């Protein structure tokens, strides 16, 4: 049987990690938007940055869900 406080700690850490990742992705999306704007005449760059931003928004969404699930699990344990 796993110690509940250990599990809580695990969920807390995964929450923190996911939040860190979200922050990193948001900053990277900002950078991609800047590149897209700077090279607006270069369609390949525009398309590539668009694709990266799209992937990053999807990732942020799934990380947000991950945090919500971890919080829910932590609540059940307490």
What residues line the site for another protein (CB under 8 A)? 26-27, 29-31, 33-34, 37, 40, 50, 53-54, 57, 60
**Least distance to another protein, CB of residue 51, Å:** 10
Closest CB to another protein among residues 7, 60: 60
E strands present in the chain: none
User: Measured from the CB atom, is 5 or 57 closer to another protein?
Assistant: 57
Separation of alpha carbons 77 and 47, rounded Å: 45
Query: What SS3 state is found at 39?
Result: coil
């Amino acid at each position: 049987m796993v110690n509940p406080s250990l599990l809580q700690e695990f969920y807390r850490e995964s929450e923190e990690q996911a939040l860190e990742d979200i922050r990193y992705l948001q900053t990277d999306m900002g950078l991609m938007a800047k590149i897209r704007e700077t090279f607006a005449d270069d369609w390949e760059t525009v398309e590539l940055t668009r694709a990266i931003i799209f992937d990053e928004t999807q990732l942020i969404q799934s990380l947000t869900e991950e945090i919500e699930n971890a919080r829910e699990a932590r609540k059940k344990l307490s």
